[in-house]
Each structure stands twice: as C-alpha cells, then as structure tokens.
C-alpha cells in the first residue's frame, strides 16, 4: 500500500519525505488556506520535494471551470493530479481530463456507486472518506471493502485511496482490505513508528550492553 501525507505544510512534507517511504501528497483548499500562501507557487514547491503524485484540488463546481483550473494546475509539474469532487460536473471533467492524459483524483466519495462511476470515467484515484463515514455512525471500512470488490470484479484500475484517516487503526484496516493508498496526517505517520514495547526493548538492550 502506498503512503501519502495529507497536508500542505512544507515542513511536515519534508519530514515525512526524509523517512524514505513517502509515495505522494494530498492537499485540499482547507489545508492550503491554513498555510496562507499563493496556491500555484506552493503546489510547485511541494512537487519539488515529492516525486510521487501530488493532488491539487479545483474550487470550481461546474465542468467548464473545473477543466479550466485542472488544465492550468496540470502545467505546474508532471506529478500533479487534479482533484475533483464526486458530482456530475466532476465526473464530466474527469472523463475529459483523463482522455487528455491528465490524471485525476475524485474526492468526497461516500458510496460504492460513486466509485464505480468515476472508475468508468477514467479516474486515476478515488478517495473514499472513511473517517467522516465513521462520524455519522456507519462503517467507513465497509466502503473500502465494497469498492475493492467492485474494482476486482471488473478489472478497474482506478486506485482506492483511503482518506479522512483518523488514526493508525484506520491505516491497518485499509491495508488489510486492499486499499491501494492511505493518505494520513503527519501526526498519524509519527504514531505509526511508535510502540512502547519497541522503546522498552531498545532501552533494555542498551542497558544490557552498557553493563558489559
């Protein structure tokens, strides 16, 4: 499973990338707004740090606007992926951009039929939001399992990206169910490398060595 970081903070991206295991980056308008930066220049800076796919989201809600923004964003770097919402106009833009060779990430996916439609439209990535589904008392991981089954049944190559991840258990469950990608906040990446038994074991090894 590929590991992406879900942030627009350059320091967090650099730290995650320095681990040597980062495969890509996802951003959205909310994350960009937190950084108080010029959008295009900031996306260019991210693409210089990370060589894998970097998702840049449009803010238009009509097809023409999405196409205009998407084509402009695609010029930033070869690894830019255009993030579009799972709505009618987003699917239309997805089909057009995909036919033009521009990769797309269809976001805000909350049901398997949305994932089916965007795969047929040529989406490179679909992003089911598992944490937000959990928030309303449903099972976000069930959505991952349903999409995986549908894609495997019919040979769709659209990558399943587990988004809205809240903790390390979400990462583990997504990996077990066959998600192609998990995009996680920086604090979750840090937690993935922490376990008290690891720390205690290392401490014991060093103490034993120093007693020689």
- Whole-angstrom Cα distance, residue 77 to residue 53? 10
What's the mean pLDDT in 82-106? 98
Between CA 99 and CA 30 the distance in angstroms is 29
pLDDT confidence bin for 23, thresholds 50/70/90? very high
SS3 194: coil
Q: What are the residue numbers of the active site?
A: 83
Instruction: State residue 195's pLDDT score.
Output: 87
The span from the CA of 63 to the CA of 93, in Å, is: 5
The arithmetic mean of pLDDT across residues 43-62, rounded, is 97
Residue 34 confidence class, pLDDT cut points 50, 70, 90: very high
pTM greater than the 0.85 cutoff: yes
Residue 206: which pLDDT band, with cuts at 50, 70 and 90? confident
Residue 32 has pLDDT above 90, yes or no: yes
Q: For the segment 113-127, what is each residue's pLDDT rounded down to a tens digit?
A: 999 999 999 999 999
What are the contacts of 170-179 at 24+ separation with CB within 8 A? 170/130, 170/131, 170/140, 170/141, 173/141, 173/144, 174/1, 174/130, 174/141, 174/144, 175/1, 177/141, 177/144, 177/145, 177/148, 178/144, 178/148, 178/152, 179/1, 179/144, 179/148
3-class secondary-structure state, position 143: helix
**What domains lie within the chain, and their CATH numbers?**
2-210 (3.20.20.70)
Task: Please tell me the predicted confidence (pLDDT) of residue 208.
Answer: 83
Neighbours of 178 (CB within 10 A): 15
> Rounded to whole angstroms, how far apart are CA atoms 10 and 31?
11
Per-residue pLDDT at 194: 87
Q: In this model, does residue 207 exceed pLDDT 90?
A: no
pLDDT, residue 204, reads 87
């Amino acid at each position: 499973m590929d590991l992406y970081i879900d942030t627009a903070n350059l320091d967090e991206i650099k730290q995650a990338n320095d681990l040597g295991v980062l495969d890509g980056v996802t951003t959205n308008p909310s994350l960009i707004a937190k950084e108080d930066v010029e959008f295009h220049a900031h996306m260019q800076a991210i693409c210089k740090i990370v060589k894998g796919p970097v998702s840049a989201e449009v803010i238009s809600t009509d097809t023409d606007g999405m196409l205009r923004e998407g084509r402009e964003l695609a010029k930033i770097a070869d690894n830019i992926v255009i993030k579009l919402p799972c709505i009618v106009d987003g699917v239309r833009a997805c089909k057009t951009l995909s036919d033009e060779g521009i990769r797309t990430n269809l976001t805000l996916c909350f049901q398997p039929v949305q994932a089916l439609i965007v795969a047929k439209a040529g989406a490179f990535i679909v992003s089911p939001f598992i944490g937000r589904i959990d928030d309303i008392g449903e099972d976000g991981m069930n959505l991952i399992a349903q999409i995986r089954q549908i894609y495997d049944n019919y040979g769709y190559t659209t990558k399943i990206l587990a988004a809205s991840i809240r903790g390390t258990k979400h990462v583990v469950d997504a990996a077990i169910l066959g998600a192609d990608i998990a995009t996680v906040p920086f604090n979750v990446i840090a937690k993935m490398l922490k376990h008290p038994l690891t720390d205690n074991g290392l401490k014991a090894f060093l103490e034993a060595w120093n007693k020689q």
